[in-house]
Amino acid sequence: MAFHVNRIYHLVWIFLFSVILLIGRLFYLQILESDQLSISALKGRILEVPLAPPRGDILDRYGLSMTNIIPETRLIIFPAQLIDSPRVLADLIPIIGAKEVAIIARLAQNTGQPFSWRIPDDPAVIRQLQAKNIPGVVLTRINARYSNLASHVIGYMNAADNQGVSGIEQAYDHVLRGLQASYVAAMIDASQKPIPGLGFRKVGPAASADSGQVVLTLDRSIQSVVERVLDRHMEKGSVVILDPRSGEVLAMASRPNFRAEQLSEYLNLTAAPLINRAVMGYQPGSVFKLVIAAAALEEKVVQPNQMFFDAGYIDVNNIRFQGWDYEKGSRGQITFTQALAYSSNPVFIQVGLTLGAEKVITYAQKFGFGQSVGLAIKDEVGGNLPNPGQVYAGDLANLSIGQGMLEVTPIQVASLVATLINDGIKVQPRLVKKVVEPGGRLQEMPAARAGVRVVSARTASALREMMKAVTSYGTGVAAQVDRYGSAGKTGSAETGKTGVSGKSINHAWFAGYAPLNNPRYVAVVFIEEGMSGSDVAAPIFREIMENLLQ
């Protein structure tokens, strides 16, 4: 009997203990964990469709965004609804076109997952889509990552993993890359279809704590001016605008341009639009005469008013080197200043031969040629300078007029002109002003290092006066800027190719500055196969400067 009572007693205690555990579990789930469980249950019914990869902003020198500034219209497509209802696709055809709808249908069939699709930013199209209210199709607006502004500087990402592969996007990927993307959230049923009547919500990350910002030296307004002028006048080439005092790049543009979100359209084009021509190497032609003149003045080989005889040609080791205007005959006696103004090949070959290869190449290196200037762009090249020991008389004659085994980049030429403005002191060009790291820590870029003297202030001043002659009465009169004045040097570099007419195809250059008093801008205009620095590059320089100085 006692055994029976004890057994009942134990069973009661086990029952009571189980009830207490059950009540405790219910209390934990319904009271303590109710919010979390509700969120988990809700998440199972919420579908998030990414709209844009998480990236920090790239800003200009004044904090104006260079990215995420162009409004863009997107359709969010829910394949489950489209596949079950061909009528939905039929409704889209008269609005966005059969070709677009065919691509959307194919993607919907292949992926099975919701995706976004960019459509033309056309108010009429948007109104029709809003009026139709097509099931499975959501209309939303975002700011596209890229515009056509400074495309080659900003760079682009790999669509597969959102990793920067070009320009600032690549150089500062570790700063710009974020974790949280903007997305559209929709309530769905068990078959992955949006639940009617519950609507959609666009969710964007707050000012991102997990991605940083990069502040460039570019001035967005100056960049815009340059881009507009290039769109009117240039098919292939580049323009660089430099602040001569600080070395900061105020604008850098290359043509052909490209749209980073449509890369597949540009990959196989022979015009190579993805190349940043501002940091690529090309023969400089007569622009290099600035280096010859600086070296000759510094070494006291010549004086600005020293007289030379220009016969229209010069023979070196039985090789005849002609002036660019050889057909016009001899210029006769001219000063060294006039030789620069008229871009006399015979005179500059005489001066280059007097200097010798060692000194010519040494001064070119001092001005920064033969090595990259150190911008934060992985594709920047250093150009090419020959080994002095391998430069013979004929090679030196070619080198003295910017031809032969010589390649320079537009940014290097801009640095050369800035050095002359700075009384012979070379300042390092730079493109990045500061970086705001993820979490908000500010990383100021080091201030421009104390410049290195390349030539004396006297030489730089004398050469600036000679450059004024180029735009006053020489080959660069088309670069003269009314009311403000300008100075510079033209260049027409032979490419070794000829056109259908048999005429030599040349690269066109103009490198200069404005205004004359207290120069604010150095500008280098390079036009690939542009033929004439005087006729093609110089007028572009003038138009840009007139826009910037007015």
| DSSP codes, 473-509 | TSTTGGG--TTT--EEEEEEEEEEEE-TTSPEEEEEE
pLDDT bin (cut points 50, 70, 90) of residue 18 is: low
Tokens of 225: 């001016």
- Give the pLDDT mean for 62-89: 76
As a whole number of angstroms, the longest Cα–Cα distance in the chain is: 141
Of 208 and 69, the structure prediction assigns the larger pLDDT to 69
Q: How does 430-445 read in b/e, with b if 16+ C-beta sit within 10 Å?
A: bbbbebbbbeeeeeee
Is the pLDDT at 548 greater than 80? The verdict is yes
Q: What's the whole-number mean pLDDT along residues 147-166?
A: 87
Cβ within 8 Å of residue 383, ≥6 positions away: 281, 369, 370, 371, 406, 407, 408, 409, 412
Question: 317 or 22: which carries more pLDDT confidence?
Answer: 317
In which element (H, E) is residue 190 found? none
Mean pLDDT of 250-266: 88
pLDDT at residue 460, as a whole number:
98
Q: How many CA atoms lie within 13 A of 381 on its CB side?
A: 15
Q: CA torsion sign, 243 to 235 to 536 to 314?
A: positive
Q: Measure Cα distances from 95 to 100, 109, 135, 365 in Å.
A: 10, 21, 15, 61
Strand stretches in 41-161, DSSP E? 46-52, 58-59, 70-77, 115-119, 137-144, 157-158
Is the pLDDT at 471 greater than 50? The verdict is yes
pLDDT, greater one: 223 or 39: 223
Higher pLDDT, 464 or 265: 464
Highest mean pLDDT among 33-37, 185-189, 200-204, 454-458: 454-458
Check residue 35 and give its pLDDT: 47
Calculate mean pLDDT across residues 100-126.
Answer: 75
pLDDT, tens only, 363-408: 999 999 999 999 988 889 999 999 999 999 999 999 999 999 999 9
**Based on the number of CB atoms within 10 Å of its own CB, is 126 exposed (0-12), middle (13-18) or buried (19 or more)?**
middle
pLDDT number for residue 308: 96
DSSP class of residue 264 equals G
Alpha carbon 420 to chain centroid, angstroms: 26
Q: Which two tokens stand for residue 148?
A: 């056509």
Nearest by Cα to 58 from 171, 141, 161, 204: 171
Closest listed residue to residue 142, CA positions, set 121, 169, 122: 121
| 39 pLDDT tier (thresholds 50, 70, 90) | very low
Burial of 138 (0-12, 13-18, 19+ CB in 10 A): buried
Name the percent of the chain lying above pLDDT 90.
54
With 50 as the cut, is the pLDDT of residue 34 above it? no
The secondary structure of residue 207, as a DSSP letter, is S
Which element (helix H / strand E) includes 275? Answer: none
Instruction: Place 163 in a pLDDT band, splitting at 50, 70 and 90.
Output: confident
Task: Choose the weakest-confidence range: 101-115, 186-200, 412-426.
Answer: 186-200
Higher pLDDT pick, 52 / 495: 495
According to the model, what pLDDT value does residue 100 have? 77
pLDDT exceeds 70 at position 467: yes
Token pair 């059969």 in the structure block, residue: 98
Report the DSSP pairing between strands 213-216 and 58-59: parallel
Residue 111: which pLDDT band, with cuts at 50, 70 and 90?
low
Distance CA 374, CA 449 (A): 13
* pLDDT at residue 115 in the model: 74
Would you state the pLDDT for residue 42? Answer: 44
Residues 88-102: tens digit of each pLDDT:
777 777 887 777 777
- Give the pLDDT confidence score for residue 256 in this predicted structure: 96
Per-residue model confidence (pLDDT) at position 146: 83
Q: Are 248 and 463 in contact (CB under 8 A)?
A: no
Give the type of residue at 112.
G
User: What is the pLDDT confidence band of residue 124, given thresholds at 50, 70 and 90?
Assistant: confident
pTM of the model: 0.83
Q: Quick one: 337 exposed, middle or buried, by C-beta within 10 A (0-12, 13-18, 19+)?
A: buried
For residue 6, name the pLDDT band (cuts at 50, 70, 90). low
pLDDT band at 481 (very low <50, low <70, confident <90, very high): very high
121 close to 72: Cβ distance less than 8 angstroms: yes
Backbone angles phi, psi at 54, to 5 degrees: -75, 110
Q: Which residue has the tokens 């964990």?
A: 33
Tell whether the model's pLDDT for residue 41 goes beyond 80: no
Q: What is the pLDDT of residues 270-312, one digit of tens each?
A: 899 999 999 999 999 999 999 999 999 999 999 999 999 999 9
